[in-house]
Amino acid sequence: MSVSLRVLDDGAWVSVNDAREVSVSELWRLDAPAFCACDLPDFVVENVLAVGVDGRTIDAKVYGQCIACGETGVPGWIPVGRLSDGEFTDIDRERSVLAVRETAHD
């Protein structure tokens, strides 16, 4: 089954099969040791740069900043949802720890 993944409105949100699923301004708790000195960066999403699917995981590359220390940048690929039978399944991004991962996208 094919899935359409896009970043739209100048990086405002991620579209999965023509529905808005992930949006800027979300606040994520990251596990991203290389991003800043914080244990688990408290990260505001300011811009979505890219989205990809790797197996059943949908990952996004986003620009943003850690509001604890002020570090800005792109932490890497971050899992933002899952695919099952070509459908998007949300994960509770604002209440879980999202670990930056190595992926097949780049």
Q: Which positions lie near Zn ion, rule CB under 5 A?
A: 36, 38, 41, 66, 68-69, 71
CB of 12 to ligand HEM, least distance (A): 7
Instruction: Please name the amino acid found at residue 2.
Output: S
Does position 92 interact with ligand HEM (CB under 6 A)? The reply is no
Does position 39 interact with ligand HEM (CB under 6 A)? The reply is no
Contact in structure between 56 and 84 (CB atoms under 8 Å) = yes
CB of 91 to other proteins, least distance (A): 16
Contact in structure between 19 and 6 (CB atoms under 8 Å) = no
Q: What does the DSSP assignment read for 21-72?
A: EEETT-EEEEE-TTT-SSSS-EEEEEEEEEEEEETTEEEEEEEEEETTT--E
Binding residues for other proteins, rule: CB under 8 A, are 4, 6, 8-13, 15, 17-20, 23-25, 27, 42, 44, 46-47, 49, 65, 67-68, 70
Binding residues for ligand HEM, rule: CB under 6 A, are 9-10
